[in-house]
Structure 1
Amino acid sequence: MIKLVLQDRDLAALADHAAACWPEEACALLVGQEGPGGERRVLRVEVSRNIAEDRTRFFEIDPGLRIRLERELRGQEHCIIGVWHSHPGGPAAPSDADARMVIERQFIWLISAVQDGKVVETNAFSPSPTYGFDPTTLTIITGD
């Protein structure tokens, strides 16, 4: 089973970004590395502008950020391991729109529920082999 490990400071940075973007969806890329037994460890988060046409209902990562990260990480042990976004006024669970957006099935999807500008819950998911998502274990650790 896949397990995502995230530092509390990175979760706090995502919560700050969600608050700054409220009432729109916020988004970010997760940079990290894959370890034994399906563990994926986030080493840093890279917040992104949401370039979706309707940012109150959808998110779209800035492709400039994605390209810059791909170039920076080329030849390193680290890579983009997932994506995070917020659901303002919604649950910390994938929506039908999220399921339709999956391209990279190896990415972890981290989703935060945001109520009144504050993150109230965050959960992790892995895209299913066919359609939809499966829950993923999320472990929050205190910094290095």
Structure 2
Amino acid sequence: MTIAISQDQIQIIVDRAENIYPEECCGILLGTISGSLKTVVEVIPTANVWVKSELGDDLADPTEISRTKTSRYTIDPQDIFQATKRGRYLELEIVGFFHSHPDNPAVPSICDRDLAWHVYSYPIVSVMQGKVNDFKSWVLDDLGIFQQEEEISFLKLP
């Protein structure tokens, strides 16, 4: 898969990641999918609503209890619903979800993999000491393994 995203759209994500640091930022990407090309039309930053208790008491990994917004994110289902409605109105669809990794590389975590869906792109922004230093987009393959999207096209979209 290839993701086409403008420099202005990337800048929205970068600004959000630096402003939210040291917490993870997150958001939704609306756009189109044509064959293996995903074109981002709109970036929708959202609040990180992670709460450690949301995973329940039956955690497979008890270390998850200590996780905070500095290492996890959750997008409110209402935000996803509103983005879906906006997409329908604009004849777009959700093509991905972005988030940041404060003081960590732009590489998907095990949690990222466990919560990902095959159809979406997952751009990750690495923020080291408050400044973005890397941006990579990932897609989950049919075997459940993240693959870096082959190319990020920096298109200037109208």
**TM-score normalised by length of structure 2:** 0.84
Q: Which runs of 4+ in 1 moved over 2 A?
A: 72-77, 141-144
Q: Partner residue of 2:126?
A: 113
Alpha-carbon offset, residue 19 of structure 1? 1.1
Which of 127, 131, 142 lines up with 2:144 in the alignment? 131
Gaps of 5+ in 2: 52-67
- Alignment gaps of 5+ in structure 1: none
Partner of 2:56: none
Q: Which residue of 1 aligns with 2:60?
A: none
Deviations along 1:59-83, one digit per CA (max 9) or x if unpaired, are: 1112121111112223653100001
- Distance in 1 (alpha carbons) for counterparts of 2:49 and 2:20: 12
User: What secondary structure does 2:5 align onto?
Assistant: strand
Which one has a bigger Cα radius of gyration?
2
Give SS of 2:86's match. helix
CA displacement, residues 86-119 of structure 1 (integer Å, 9 cap, x when unaligned): 00001111111111111x3100110111011111
| Maintained 8 Å contact 2:96/2:122 | yes
Q: What is the match of residue 28 of structure 1? A: 27
Match of 1:50 among 48, 51, 64: 48
Task: Indicate if the aligned counterparts of 1:3 and 1:38 stay in contact, CA closer than 8 A.
Answer: yes
